[in-house]
């Protein structure tokens, strides 16, 4: 078999219907659209229209709530920080801010702030200034000899301060 001998099986393809091309075509005159009315006209396709009946999307009750004040944080893991140090993007002992992380391509964007999570390990001393951090991440940074300045403290610390 050669490439120029390739073809579909017999009956696998059908010719398209030429609509509105005379009564002998089987789809002449009205072209299968019926007589008059909205759907016989071109350019009219009202989605959700139910002939004047209240549409289902308006009959059903709406539920839920979207908090427009919700903060969306960029997530930074300890392992990502350690990888950035090993790649030479960050130096041991330097002060790392959110803007510096974006500038050095550790993060793509900072969104409403950067939140540090404890996935992975950190063995380099870093001084961090970020929006938020988990309690385990704070402990891991301090264990590595670094310090962390958090704008939004972990929930565990907040609860401890409120209880005291």
3-state helix, strand, coil in the chain (%, to 5): 30, 15, 55
pLDDT digits (tens, 9 = 90+) for 43-56: 877 788 887 899 99
Residues spanned by the domain of 89: 74-163
**Average pLDDT of every residue of the chain:** 88
Does residue 89 lie in a domain region? yes
Find all residues with CB under 8 Å of 140, minimum gap 6, and list them: 78, 118, 121, 122
Does residue 66 lie in a domain region? no
Are 48 and 82 found together in one domain? no
Assign residue 82 the CATH number of its domain: 3.100.10.10
Are 140 and 100 found together in one domain? yes
Are 92 and 49 found together in one domain? no
pLDDT above 90 coverage of the chain, percent? 57
Does residue 33 lie in a domain region? yes
Are 54 and 78 found together in one domain? no
Are 151 and 99 found together in one domain? yes
pTM here is 0.57
Does residue 138 lie in a domain region? yes
Residues in the chain: 164
pLDDT band at residue 21 using 50, 70 and 90 as cut-offs = very high
Give me the number of domains the chain comprises. Answer: 2
Are 34 and 81 found together in one domain? no
pLDDT of residue 119: 93
Closest CA to 103 of 83, 120, 86, 89: 89
Does residue 120 lie in a domain region? yes
Are 88 and 147 found together in one domain? yes
Are 100 and 147 found together in one domain? yes
How far apart, in whole angstroms, are the C-alpha atoms of residue 94 and residue 86? Answer: 14
Are 80 and 156 found together in one domain? yes
Are 86 and 43 found together in one domain? no
């Amino acid at each position: 078999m050669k490439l120029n001998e390739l073809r579909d099986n017999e009956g696998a393809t059908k010719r398209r219907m030429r609509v509105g091309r005379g009564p002998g075509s089987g789809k002449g005159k009205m072209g299968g659209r019926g007589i008059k009315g909205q759907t016989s006209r071109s350019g009219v396709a009202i989605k959700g229209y139910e002939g004047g009946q209240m549409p289902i999307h308006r009959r059903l009750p709406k539920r839920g709530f979207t908090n427009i004040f919700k903060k969306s944080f960029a997530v930074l893991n300890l392992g990502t920080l350690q990888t950035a140090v090993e790649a030479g993007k960050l130096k041991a002992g330097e002060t790392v801010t959110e803007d510096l992380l974006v500038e050095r391509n550790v993060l793509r964007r900072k969104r409403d702030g950067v939140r540090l999570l404890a996935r992975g390990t950190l063995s380099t001393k870093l001084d961090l200034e970020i929006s938020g951090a988990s309690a385990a991440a704070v402990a891991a940074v301090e264990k590595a000899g670094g310090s962390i300045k958090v704008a939004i403290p972990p929930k565990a610390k907040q609860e401890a301060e409120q209880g005291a």
